[in-house]
Amino acid sequence: MAYIRKPLLLMLCGIVCAIFSNTSFAKGGGSPFGVELFAKGSYSKNTLSADVFLQNATVTTGLALGLGSVIRLEARFALIESYQNRLDVTSSSGEQFIVTSIHTQTKNYTLGVDIDFLSDKSPFRPFVFIGAGYVESERTYSVSGEFRRDGKVIGMSANGGLGFKIMVARSIAFETEGLAVATNVTKPNPLIDYYLTLGIRVYL
């Protein structure tokens, strides 16, 4: 689906740009007060029934500024796409209808801190991420063939991640992260989504 391919292509472009922008190869993964670029993403497809499926794709890219050997200030942008081909709905009055082509797009702008558990001299670096941000979400779908669009939803988000980096070159690391994103955090029942992302980080 075109909706799902877009974030995956963005992630690929981010990885390529990060690698080719790396003009310095400081031993040990960069300066403690250096700049880092990263891009990572995820994709999943779940079959809900014989003719119903749900696809999810995410891409996260951003810039990190070292504040010491194990802590960084990170600015992140995440694009989250979800597509479900069909949903059978029964209204409160008992009326049945079919909703198709359900596409949800969420943009999450986050500022937070990334903290390593081990020294910057270690090739294996587990880390935790904590941040807060601003989120926009839109949804489109068709009801009995009629195209509809919900209004844009805007709010605050809270983000928490746990993962690890593995140095695969002098200034390049493979990175994986399990991320929880809570939206509508100012309301009584916030929504929480979970993602497992894979990507790359370049130390400039």
Q: Rounded mean pLDDT of the chain? A: 85
Tokens of 44: 């999943």
| Amino acid, single-letter form, for residue 3 | Y
Kindly report, residue by residue over 123-135, the tens digit of the pLDDT: 999 999 999 999 9
Give the whole-angstrom CA distance, residue 197 versus residue 194. Answer: 10
CB contact burial 1-10 (16+ within 10 A = b; e otherwise):
eebbeebbeb
pTM, 2 dp: 0.79
- What was the pLDDT predicted at 49? 87
Give the whole-angstrom CA distance, residue 63 versus residue 77. Answer: 9
- CB 79 within 8 Å of CB 58: yes
| Amino acid, single-letter form, for residue 157 | S
Give the whole-angstrom CA distance, residue 174 versus residue 177. Answer: 10
> Where are the domains positioned within the chain?
2-24+35-189
Class of domain 2-24+35-189: mainly beta
Q: Is the pLDDT of residue 186 over 60?
A: yes
- CB 84 within 8 Å of CB 102: yes
Kindly report, residue by residue over 67-122, the tens digit of the pLDDT: 988 899 999 999 999 999 998 888 778 788 889 999 999 999 999 999 999 988 88
Q: Is the pLDDT of residue 62 over 90?
A: yes
